[in-house]
Amino acid sequence: MSTVSFADELRSRNDAELACLFNLRPDLVTPVPSDFSALAARANSMPSLIRAVDGLNKWQLDVLTVCTILNEPFAKSDVTALTEKAAGAVIDDLWERGLLYKDGAKYRIVSNVRVRIGDEPAGLGPKAPTDVIYAFAQLKKAPEAAMTMLERLMWGPPRGQIGNLKKPGEAIAWLLEHRYLIAMDSQTVVLPREVALHLRGGKVFAANSATAPVLEGTTRKQKEIDRAAVANISTFLRWCEELAHNWSDEPPVALRSGGLGVRDLKHTAEHLGVEEVCAGFVAEMLFISGLVVIDTDDQIMPTSAFDIWLTKSHEERWRGLVTLWLETSRVSGLIGKADQKNIAPLGPELDRAGIASLRTTTLALLHENPELDPKVSTLLNRMKWLTPGRFNGEYIEWALREAEWLGLTGQGALSSFGRALIDGADDLGVESALPQPVDHILIQADNSAVAPGPLTVELANTIGTLADIESRGGATVYRFSEASIRRGLDHGQTGDQIKDFLKRTSKTPVPQPLEYLINDVAKRHGRLRVGTSNSYIRCEDEALIQQITVDKKLDHLRLRKLAPQVLISDIEISEVIATLRESGYLPAAENSTGILVSAPAIRRAKSRPKPPRVISDFQNPSDVVISSAVRALRAGQKASAHKPREVPRTTANETLALLHQYIEEEASLTIGYADTNGGVSNRLIDPLKISLGTLMARDHATGQVESFRIPRITGVAPAATE
């Protein structure tokens, strides 16, 4: 008896069923297959099947596993007998996904699905030899040790090792004699599938997985959730600004292999006042957004896109960051893991396939359970049921942690802003929920300043250069120090300009100790001048030059005195300046003409933003794309069924005569048509008219009226009727 092939069954499906298949497996239409044979081959290919099987939940996967155990063709009743009655609906779903196909009233399984599930589905061994007929009543007479052995193998793995097949022992000898165990080789025995199913009580799985595990947790009030989320959003946006400004002032140098070094990551974490894993995540978000880039000189600096980003509203900034986080395939949780080699932020080793779908599924689960802060253990159990093929507990916990940092969640539950983003709302409500920025600070007597709220962009940029952040929260505390004042002087400001700025922006008087500090640093700043020799040091104070000469901390600079006021070194100028500053001196750089060089107020990378690649899953195609794919597939199948292997060549006169004939008869025909590269393809068309050497016809593949240049038509043949 002939069996129905997978391609034939696909060919018999109607347009709505094909559209459902393409919705569930979008990779099948990327690109559109030429005909149903090509569609069947693609749907049966391992890459496509891996994606399809990984998209099943635990119950669907269990039912599919049962299907691989049965003899083909099988009925729904065969599956429900080994599982539950609810498996019948799952069979229909698996058929819609193209993992099963129909043979009359029964079903067959797509061949490579068995390869994907494995040789021992559900821990079951191979089928018994055809000549074996079991009388399971014999098991009541089996030795107790033999039954213990069967119970060990019953739920898998079905294979066991023995010392010597010739001397197996009484229990194993009895099982081998009655064929309840089959010898695979001299040291391996296996439990046949039929015996295991009998021992399992006629069910393939010990537990029913038709129902998803219950999600448990603490119920939160939405106002409290949103209040925590707003604080997280404000904090994260401030982290992004602070980090970009810090790298503009003191850009780190990327590793040779790419990415941010361990010392620079530690320095970044200290600057932001967060753990290193959090600092790495902030750096990654700036990187994937194109706001920072590794420049041509290997310095990691903000791009011009960062300045544009600062002009946007807080909601626009947040929406852009969160959208990229949902799409990116980079896993920042891998940064600096202790149990494996160090993986650097911004490096090339953070990509992991499937992480975007895990994040989306996790947020969708929170979306379905509003105002619930789930227990992590129950959430992991639920996720393991939803996505058994892609489940990774660590990745899910990292996604929850990052969602909290971003403000998608607050106190562990989904915020109103996260819900609005998932629902695709135009107004997320972030802008109205965030506190308004302030344009002043409060300078304290201990050389600190308090920002009573988020500062305006201009004020935050300037104060971030002149002072270091000491603590964060509802109010940010800045600390003025010798190093921070020196940083402001390096950016081209004078001591008087710094004092004037503080007097304008502070609601409290500038304390006298702070003025003394600014005057002292400004007086000493630039007394030392560093240029290129590779580098030189000059100073009008000969005593200071003598002090530097005998300073043991500067021995590695290999300084040589050229004159009472001049020292030279073979070390690069940047290293000389950094070393002098670490040793307590306050040098300033000068150019070849002796003019003091101040750092630019804004330093930006010369390179364009280069966001990293994204290993993305296939996106669900639109209805228009799906309908076009179905139409093209039907036309391709019709063309392949009707056309001869090669359209016979016709002369120019014969071509014109045949075209006029078919136009009058309003008949479909197949033409050979040469493209611009000389390749000839067969096209199934309905000719309409000829005008100025061009044939106007409806192409069955696209459903559109197209033009065909007659000189490029190599042959004409009638399209056979069905």
Question: Is the per-residue pLDDT at 705 higher than 70?
Answer: yes
User: Please, are residues 716 and 659 in contact by the beta-carbon 8 Å criterion?
Assistant: yes
Mean pLDDT score of the chain: 86
Query: Each residue of 20-30: pLDDT tens digit?
Result: 999 999 999 88
Which three-class secondary structure state does DSSP give residue 374?
Answer: strand
The widest CA-to-CA distance across the chain, in whole angstroms, is 109
Mean pLDDT of 345-350: 88
| Predicted local confidence at residue 643, as pLDDT | 47
Query: Each residue of 149-178: pLDDT tens digit?
Result: 888 888 878 888 887 777 778 888 888 888
Which three-class secondary structure state does DSSP give residue 425?
Answer: coil
Quote the CA–CA distance of 440 and 495 in Å, as a whole number: 20
Quote the CA–CA distance of 402 and 281 in Å, as a whole number: 8
Q: Which residues of 459-497 are buried (b: 16+ CB within 10 A; e: fewer)?
A: bbbbbbbbbbbeebeeebbbebeeebbbbbbbbebebee
* pLDDT band of 338, cuts 50, 70, 90: low
Mean pLDDT of 608-620: 70
Percent of the chain with pLDDT over 70: 94
Question: Is the per-residue pLDDT at 531 higher than 70?
Answer: no
Question: Is the per-residue pLDDT at 227 higher than 60?
Answer: yes
Query: Each residue of 84-95: pLDDT tens digit?
Result: 888 999 999 999
Mean pLDDT of 263-271: 91
Query: Each residue of 646-690: pLDDT tens digit?
Result: 677 888 888 888 888 888 888 888 888 888 777 788 888 889 998
CB proximity list for 618: less than 8 A, separation 6 or greater = 26, 27, 30, 51
Looking from the CA of 138 toward its CB, the CA atoms found within 13 Å total 12
Query: Each residue of 33-75: pLDDT tens digit?
Result: 888 888 988 999 988 999 999 999 999 999 999 999 998 899 9
Q: What is the pTM of this model?
A: 0.74
| Predicted local confidence at residue 391, as pLDDT | 92
Which residue would you say has higher pLDDT here, 598 or 559?
A: 559
| Predicted local confidence at residue 722, as pLDDT | 47
| Predicted local confidence at residue 606, as pLDDT | 72
Question: Is the per-residue pLDDT at 145 higher than 80?
Answer: yes
Which residue would you say has higher pLDDT here, 550 or 401?
A: 401
Which residue would you say has higher pLDDT here, 517 or 464?
A: 517
Question: Is the per-residue pLDDT at 389 higher than 50?
Answer: yes
Two tokens, residue 246: 């810090």
Quote the CA–CA distance of 34 and 237 in Å, as a whole number: 49
Distance between alpha carbon 279 and the CA centroid of its chain, in Å?
Answer: 19
